[in-house]
Structure 1
């Protein structure tokens, strides 16, 4: 059974402009208003409520070196989110976590590592692989989440409660980056499988889903950043880059991956960039069709 869990954290993002706050924290309620929770409830899904984040603070002027933005609040939210995801898994449910920014992947990773570990399929228009070993600008976990998930970040983020890595690199597949992604070669050298968006379009979503699932193993977490969609389809994200997937391609990719996923997280939709709700409604269609069988093929532990 699927259960929906809201995680409206924007703690891992840069401010869109000085003095403002990222809008991704509004995504769970915008998608609820657009009918997402109703669609899943009609198929028997439950609602597991919300894990609220701490206050977002643009702390660039006072943050010490070697720390990410909103670090204490980020770690606290990750631990509380991990507990709630873990409760759902222990109850035999498939958690569908609606974020929020990509940093919520850390909470999912903590929950799964505490239960013996799992693979990861990471669908994102960027590799999210900035880390202290390749950049002097580490501060926003949303752009560093995949690196943190496999243990390549400062210990305060990548080794919470001594659990690093949250996901093994050898069971992690990434899908969806653009051809100019700066970290793609490093990612290719570390992960089990890496597939750019152009290859999904060229070879077909079904083939890529099958290969990614095989790389991630028997059961895995499914992370979706909706900026994998082309900005002609989904401009309501913080970093829209051309060359992404169509809505049909993403739906097919999710449909192929969902059954063997222990759970999934959806991130970086920004309702502030969707004043009439049209992109929220599009996401409802993609997610309700693509994830309808989430967890259905996972064998009980």
Structure 2
């Protein structure tokens, strides 16, 4: 099967970086293209599947209705369109590689996977992204709530789009890379099939981690969602919410390389080019991704 590169330049799930500001993560697909990601993967036989554009980012703090997140209608619309495009890519026999954007795109990925199969999810992220209305009164930004929504723990408008929720069964979801002080670590550990904080994963070794967490998804396979803030900010500071104690690039390459052969698809999110004016972090990310993703779907 061929890898299909699909850009999803959404920033809809993030908080504004400052009053009146707009998050820069929506620029990531083109920044990574400019740094050579597409050129290098196309040379390995990938195809360019185009782009699914998001709606306009609107900071509606102070006037948003209760029980709504920022840009909710636009997020749901984007999820539906992304899911349709992913369905077409899979029907064509390709493995999608979605280049975001922020991790609110996981709703579209989950919607597509719920329609297509009983796939699992491997969520590689420096945070659990497990905030939801049952544990917080601060629900507002889907990029910190996407995993909870994907397993059904959010308002139905997000967690049950078109009646397909939960998009992933919680028992078939593994979370890797959160920090030991993540405020929702205990709850995520009690709900999901596996949770392995970054420090535990580093102690165990990435190949062993991959073997362990791949079992959670079962025979239907899994989607890999990579949030680049799983990397320590010493290596990747160009993210919305950096947190010390993350993986280094070699560890991340080892982990994804071990997981990619049996992956149904993959998404990468939360790189912010506005925080990388010299382009060195985009170049590093391209090295990581091209080293690890080329074997996707070969297992």
TM-score (norm 1): 0.98
Shift of 1:116: 2.7
Query: For residue 287 of structure 2, what is the aligned residue in structure 1?
Result: 285
**Contiguous gaps of at least 5 residues in structure 1:** none
Query: For residue 97 of structure 2, what is the aligned residue in structure 1?
Result: 96
For the residues of structure 1 that align with 2:105 and 2:22, how far apart are their CA atoms?
17
For the residues of structure 1 that align with 2:116 and 2:100, how far apart are their CA atoms?
22
For the residues of structure 1 that align with 2:298 and 2:60, how far apart are their CA atoms?
43
Query: For residue 40 of structure 1, what is the aligned residue in structure 2?
Result: 41
How do 1:235-246 residues align onto structure 2 when only pairs under 5 Å count? 235-246=237-248
For the residues of structure 1 that align with 2:209 and 2:134, how far apart are their CA atoms?
29
Shift of 1:27: 0.1
Aligned: 1:144 with 2:137: no
Between Structure 1 and Structure 2, how many residues are aligned?
A: 297
Choose which of 240, 250, 253 in structure 1 pairs with 2:252.
Answer: 250
CA-to-partner distance for each residue in 1:172-216, whole Å, 9 max, x for gaps?
Answer: 000000010000000110111110000121111000011111112
For the residues of structure 1 that align with 2:46 and 2:4, how far apart are their CA atoms?
5
How do 1:138-287 residues align onto structure 2 when only pairs under 5 Å count? 138-218=139-219, 219-287=221-289
Q: Secondary structure of 2:255's match?
A: helix
Query: For residue 18 of structure 2, what is the aligned residue in structure 1?
Result: 17
For the residues of structure 2 that align with 1:132 and 1:295, how far apart are their CA atoms?
36
For the residues of structure 2 that align with 1:71 and 1:117, how far apart are their CA atoms?
26
Q: Secondary structure of 2:283's match?
A: helix
For the residues of structure 1 that align with 2:212 and 2:175, how far apart are their CA atoms?
11
For the residues of structure 1 that align with 2:209 and 2:218, how far apart are their CA atoms?
14
Aligned: 1:65 with 2:66: yes
TM-score (norm 2): 0.98
CA-to-partner distance for each residue in 1:149-184, whole Å, 9 max, x for gaps?
Answer: 000000000000001100000100000000100000
Query: For residue 27 of structure 1, what is the aligned residue in structure 2?
Result: 28
Where do 4+ consecutive residues of structure 1 move more than 4 Å?
none
For the residues of structure 2 that align with 1:128 and 1:6, how far apart are their CA atoms?
22
For the residues of structure 2 that align with 1:116 and 1:26, how far apart are their CA atoms?
31
Query: For residue 120 of structure 2, what is the aligned residue in structure 1?
Result: 119
Shift of 1:291: 1.0
For the residues of structure 2 that align with 1:275 and 1:263, how far apart are their CA atoms?
30
Q: Secondary structure of 2:99's match?
A: strand
Query: For residue 133 of structure 2, what is the aligned residue in structure 1?
Result: 132
For the residues of structure 1 that align with 2:125 and 2:184, how far apart are their CA atoms?
13
CA-to-partner distance for each residue in 1:54-98, whole Å, 9 max, x for gaps?
Answer: 000001121000001001111000000001111111111000000
Q: Secondary structure of 2:191's match?
A: coil
Query: For residue 51 of structure 1, what is the aligned residue in structure 2?
Result: 52
